[in-house]
Structure 1
Amino acid sequence: MQAPKVSVVMATRDRPQLLRRAVSSVLAQDYAGQIEIVLVYDGTEVDELADLELPTGRSLHAVPNDRTPGLAGARNTGILTTTGTLVALCDDDDEWKPTKLSRQVPLFEDPEVVLAATGIEIMSSGGSHVRVPPTRVGLADLLRSRITELHPSSFVLRASALLGDLGLVDEELPASYGEDYDMLLRAVQVGRIASVPDPLTIIHWDRTSYFTEKWQGIVDGLGYILDKHPQFATSRVGRSRIEGQIAFAHGALGDRPRARNWAYRAIRNDPRQPRAYLAMMVGMGVVSGEKVVATLNSRGRGL
């Protein structure tokens, strides 16, 4: 059986050196099939990276984001440009290990699989941290937990699903925040999510994220996800988790009343929700939101 063509979409903005590192890791894949790389420049000048040497069976082209500005629109621009049977995502500051695709693509021999991921190795200021997702997840799992081990830089999806029942990235999401989580929640309802239980994707948290300190986007994005997915009513723990994150972001914004209100909501659903108590501490100025997030990231954890 011939290996299916994989199209890799990289949305990018003002990270030329990191982008080259990410592209090089894709070109170094030992995958036997064709690999097409589509670079989507979001609000910046297009660079074709014409100086890169492309191995046999590899192609690269670059396009501007011609849809909604931001990550969601850029990814959709790339997805609609691709020609592969499978579509992979990779952030412009992350990397793949050489065996990623050759280990991951066989998961699609199961016709029910619409999205495949891999384990991740997080590089942070505190060192290297390996996180491995479960090989199978269901909707109840994803409502209860974001399962951050399922990182979008490891995602491979069926192109037919993206253009069909699953749909494209939701461009209505404020600030594109949580677009990967929304994709997971939708994917598990139209098919299966599978994973390779090995850290084949390298995630860099040793640099500044475009979402760092963009607290209002977090508030709006997570609120949108709660409204969009009424299934959270069936998971008090999962709803509390998101309410705690919203409370924390309000606290970081200095909005103590809203932080307290959302923290109380979170505690009512799950009295053990730690984000709610952190939110109140941040809102009172006991500790800064940036300090909390930096400490968590250094340990390979997110909020």
Structure 2
Amino acid sequence: MPDVSVVIPTTGRPSVTEAVRSARAQRSVSVRVVVVCDLAEVPATVRELRGEVDEVVCTGGGRRGSYARNVGVAHAAPGSHVAFLDDDDAWLPGKLAAQVPVLERLAAEGWRPVVSSRILQRRAGGEPLPTAAPSTLIADGARPEDYLFRRRRLGVGRQSLPTSTLLTTGELAAACRWDETLPRHQDWDWLVRVARLPGARITQVPEATAVYTVGSPGSISAGADWRTSWAWARRWEGVWARETFADFVAAQTLRYALQARDWEGVREMMRAIRRNSTPSVPNAALAALGMVPRATLERVAMRRSRTATDAAIPRQPGGSH
């Protein structure tokens, strides 16, 4: 039976209980659950899970997710695969059973693989949407930045490689550490750097294997901090294709600057776009949506997706669904 070490960083949110139990409930795979508390001591939510967690480690507090994931990888079982799971997400029971055979086949062919998947999305405290996302999977050989940022789709079906879907070999997890200096875009950064290692290959299975939470309280990704996004993006200007870089700036940093009503930031982002390329129409549209609060956009996108799904369900005799 394949062995997988599951790395779960947490700050003690109550949702960690669901995350741990979803990892423990995996079928056809032996799991070692490593919970890394980014705190000075183990919180009550984790202490209550002692019988379901194989190892608990504390960082001392305030070290952020990348540091916690690196600590978790260091505590993975020797020779095991490594999977990442955020404490506000959960896995479906067949997650690893769907991904491990793909990982091991690619590794046997000489690749250094990372296997992702589709997800079911939910708002914090809500039920997941029944429609799996993203609509389009990453193509073989595609750079993750091109897949994630070029001609980005609007709505919940947009391109994604969420952290809680990622499974890789212990060797690759150790070879490519998460960047502990980054306050955000840690997952994107890790994928972009992994893809540049010799023999690396990123793929996605078509099944939805995880439930991904949108808009968790206190989520760093929910903030309109264009400066930290721009500090990260500048590392890749001249490395990524110009079209990809312009699309990222339009849909991400320009949109955040507009949300923050920071007009100097807007001007700086427009200069960066002019240095590179004209953004695609979808990404230009995303930039314009920066004038609308992000929480409002997320609510509308989730509502539209649920309405579209309900409309697709055939009505039964008598007018009921």
TM-score, normalised relative to structure 1: 0.80
Q: Does 1:151 align with 2:162?
A: yes
Q: Number of residue pairs matched? A: 282
Give 1:77 deviation, angstroms.
1.4
Give 1:140 deviation, angstroms.
3.9
Aligned counterparts of 2:122 and 2:174: Cα–Cα separation in 1: 34
Q: What's the counterpart of residue 195 of structure 1?
A: 204
Given residue 122 of structure 1, which amino acid in structure 2 is its aligned partner?
A: Q
Relative to structure 1, the CA distance from residue 75 to residue 140 in structure 2 (aligned partners, 3 Å threshold; closer, same or farther) is closer
Q: Which runs of 5+ in 1 are unaligned?
A: none
Q: Could you give the per-residue CA deviations for residues 203-229 of structure 1, whole angstroms, max 9, x where no partner exists?
A: 12264351255322x531343244146
Aligned counterparts of 1:215 and 1:86: Cα–Cα separation in 2: 35
Q: What's the counterpart of residue 118 of structure 1?
A: 117
Q: Judge conservation of contact 1:205–1:297 (CA < 8 Å) in 2.
A: no
Aligned counterparts of 2:246 and 2:50: Cα–Cα separation in 1: 47
Q: Judge conservation of contact 1:8–1:89 (CA < 8 Å) in 2.
A: yes
What does 1:91-102 align with in structure 2 at a 5 Å threshold?
A: 91-102=86-97
Relative to structure 1, the CA distance from residue 51 to residue 144 in structure 2 (aligned partners, 3 Å threshold; closer, same or farther) is closer
Q: What's the counterpart of residue 215 of structure 1?
A: 224
Aligned counterparts of 1:256 and 1:10: Cα–Cα separation in 2: 39
Q: Judge conservation of contact 2:224–2:259 (CA < 8 Å) in 1.
A: yes
Q: Judge conservation of contact 2:118–2:204 (CA < 8 Å) in 1.
A: yes
Aligned counterparts of 1:185 and 1:162: Cα–Cα separation in 2: 14
Aligned counterparts of 1:153 and 1:35: Cα–Cα separation in 2: 15
SS, match of residue 10 in structure 1? strand
Residue of 275, 278, 302 corresponding to 1:270: 278
Q: Does 1:242 align with 2:248?
A: yes
Relative to structure 1, the CA distance from residue 297 to residue 263 in structure 2 (aligned partners, 3 Å threshold; closer, same or farther) is farther
Q: Judge conservation of contact 1:9–1:40 (CA < 8 Å) in 2.
A: yes
Aligned counterparts of 2:236 and 2:62: Cα–Cα separation in 1: 19
Q: Judge conservation of contact 1:264–1:276 (CA < 8 Å) in 2.
A: no
Aligned counterparts of 1:30 and 1:40: Cα–Cα separation in 2: 23
Relative to structure 1, the CA distance from residue 99 to residue 293 in structure 2 (aligned partners, 3 Å threshold; closer, same or farther) is closer
Aligned counterparts of 1:263 and 1:296: Cα–Cα separation in 2: 27
Given residue 150 of structure 1, which amino acid in structure 2 is its aligned partner?
A: L
Q: What's the counterpart of residue 75 of structure 2?
A: 81
What does 1:1-303 align with in structure 2 at a 5 Å threshold?
A: 3-16=1-14, 18-32=15-29, 34-43=30-39, 45-47=41-43, 48-50=46-48, 53-54=51-52, 60-65=54-59, 69-84=63-78, 85-109=80-104, 110-111=106-107, 112-124=111-123, 128=129, 129-132=131-134, 134=137, 136-140=139-143, 142-146=145-149, 148-164=159-175, 167-173=176-182, 175=183, 177-190=184-197, 191-205=200-214, 207-208=216-217, 210-211=219-220, 213-216=222-225, 218-228=226-236, 230-232=238-240, 234-236=241-243, 238-244=244-250, 245-263=252-270, 265-266=272-273, 269-276=277-284, 279=287, 282=290, 287-296=292-301
Q: Judge conservation of contact 2:120–2:208 (CA < 8 Å) in 1.
A: yes
Aligned counterparts of 2:4 and 2:297: Cα–Cα separation in 1: 38
Q: Could you give the per-residue CA deviations for residues 252-276 of structure 1, whole angstroms, max 9, x where no partner exists?
A: 2221232144146437722444554
Aligned counterparts of 1:182 and 1:171: Cα–Cα separation in 2: 11
Aligned counterparts of 2:113 and 2:73: Cα–Cα separation in 1: 15
Q: Judge conservation of contact 2:117–2:204 (CA < 8 Å) in 1.
A: yes
Q: Judge conservation of contact 1:266–1:276 (CA < 8 Å) in 2.
A: no
SS, match of residue 6 in structure 1? strand
Between the aligned residues of both structures, percent identity stands at 22
Given residue 291 of structure 1, which amino acid in structure 2 is its aligned partner?
A: T
Aligned counterparts of 1:51 and 1:153: Cα–Cα separation in 2: 20
Aligned counterparts of 2:284 and 2:269: Cα–Cα separation in 1: 8
Q: Could you give the per-residue CA deviations for residues 180-234 of structure 1, whole angstroms, max 9, x where no partner exists?
A: 1111112222211122111111112264351255322x531343244146421x2
SS, match of residue 46 in structure 1? coil
Q: Judge conservation of contact 2:237–2:245 (CA < 8 Å) in 1.
A: no
Given residue 120 of structure 1, which amino acid in structure 2 is its aligned partner?
A: I
Aligned counterparts of 1:182 and 1:212: Cα–Cα separation in 2: 14
Give 1:115 deviation, angstroms.
0.8
SS, match of residue 201 in structure 1? strand
Regions of 4+ moved over 6 Å: none
